[in-house]
Amino acid sequence: MSKTSLSMIVQVKQKTQAAADIACFELVDPHGRELPAFTAGAHIDVQTADEHLRQYSLSNASRERQRYQIAVLREPQSRGGSLAMHEQVQEGDYLRISAPRNHFAVDHAAQRSVLFAGGIGITPILAMAEELHAKRAEFELHYSASTPDNAAFVDYLKAAPFADRVAFHFTQVTDGQRIDLASMAARPETATHIYVCGPEAFNDAVMSAYESAGWPKQQLHTEYFVGATVDTSSDGSFEVQLARSGLSFQIPPDKSVADVLIDNDIDLLTSCEQGICGTCVTKILEGTPDHRDRYLTDGEQAANDQFTPCCSRAKSKRLVLDL
Ligand code: FES
């Protein structure tokens, strides 16, 4: 059994339909206490009714301490979690969650921030807009979705005190204004940071527009919902040795390092199991990893002294881990 980060129980105070396929949940402490503080861009792990563990971004303002708000898209290709949230979780129910974690935080040293949300990617971006507005910071928000009916928080954003900073881009609406990425990215600005959250193709399009225009990588921030697509056809086996116990395990081509370690009762904290949340990051003492995550930065991956055992593998025959 995977060891998880779930440490809190919250109650569903309100469940609303935020868009055609998006349910919004307001989560509170069952005894009315304050919840742990968070910053915009943070997410929580949620144990869904069918025992899946899923990550959802907090979309409410980080100054609010009495509630967490998450929005869940009913995904046709759901691995189960989103369907269970839609169909089984009701107002009054209790959910096990983790404390908030943030690896998509706003850099408040920037003079200006440009926020891009694609579809359900609005959730962390909305929290960022709230936080930037509260700090009276300069920002603009570009929200792209197929139609208004498929987009959560449209009415909220139109009535928000920062509504004049929000541009909607509805791609399947007549006269819907598309984002002109080429002209937005054309002139790199040293004090502006870019934040992108949406489906893979959306994130890639925004990032490549800014990267190809010469914007420095440290000013570009993105969050993916799914792990990278990797060709696993030539995966082989390799050995993992645990430095503290001296135990060794063979990792077969069809199992992850995390799977093998957890099957053998080794304590390893996991959450997304697809290389996006960073929960499982483990120090490497010897050997060269084959990084397959979207969590570590390019520099961190190049250092080869840590990896994500939920999805990454080994280029060397053996990895020695600090476990
Ligand atoms: Fe999320 Fe490994 S469990 S990166």
The secondary structure of 173-203, three-state, reads: CCCCCCCCHHHHHCCCCCCEEEEEECCHHHH
Please give the pLDDT value at position 50.
67
> Looking up tokens 């792209």, which residue turns up?
144
What's the 28 CA to ligand 1 centre distance in angstroms? 26
278 CB within 6 A, ligand 1: yes
* pLDDT for the residue 4: 62
266 CB less than 6 Å from ligand 1? no
5 CB less than 6 Å from ligand 1? Answer: no
Q: Is 306 in the pocket of ligand 1 (CB under 6 A)?
A: no
Q: E strand or H helix at 156, and its extent?
A: helix 154-159
pLDDT tens-digit series, residues 269-321 = 888 889 998 889 999 999 999 999 999 988 999 999 999 999 999 999 999 99
112-223 shares its CATH topology with 238-321? no
pTM > 0.75: yes
Q: Which residues of the chain have pLDDT under 50?
A: 1
Of 272, 266, 262, nearest in space to 308 by CA: 272
pLDDT of 1? 42
pLDDT of amino acid 79: 62
d(CA 97, CA 54): 9
Q: What is the CATH number of domain 112-223?
A: 3.40.50.80
Does ligand 1 have an atom closer than 6 angstroms to the CB of 293?
A: yes
Pocket test for ligand 1, best of 44, 225, 276, 296 (most atoms within 8 A of CB): 276
The answer, yes or no, to whether any atom of ligand 1 lies below 6 A from the CB of 308, is yes
Shortest-distance Cα residue to atom 4 of ligand 1:
275
- Tell me yes or no: is domain 8-97 CATH 2.40.30.10: yes
- Residue-wise pLDDT tens digits, 143-175: 999 999 999 999 999 999 999 999 999 988 877
**Is the distance from CB of 115 to CB of 193 less than 8 angstroms?**
no
End-to-end CA distance of the chain: 18
CATH T-level assignment (fold) for domain 238-321: Ubiquitin-like (UB roll) (3.10.20)
In the reported structure, the alpha carbon of residue 179 is separated from the centroid of ligand 1 by a whole-number distance in angstroms of 32
29 lines ligand 1 (CB under 6 A): no
3-state secondary structure of 249: strand
CA of 312 to the centre of ligand 1 (A): 10
The H-or-E segment that residue 127 falls in is helix 122-134
- How far is residue 58's CA from residue 41's CA, in Å, rounded to a whole number? 7
The residue ranges of every structural domain in the chain are 8-97, 112-223, 238-321
SS3 28: strand
Rounded Cα distance, 174 and 170, in Å: 9
pLDDT of res. 7:
86
- Ligand 1 centroid to Cα of residue 158, in Å, is 36
Residue 83: count other Cβ atoms within 10 Å of its Cβ: 18
- Name the DSSP letter for residue 87: H
Q: How high is the pLDDT of residue 174?
A: 74
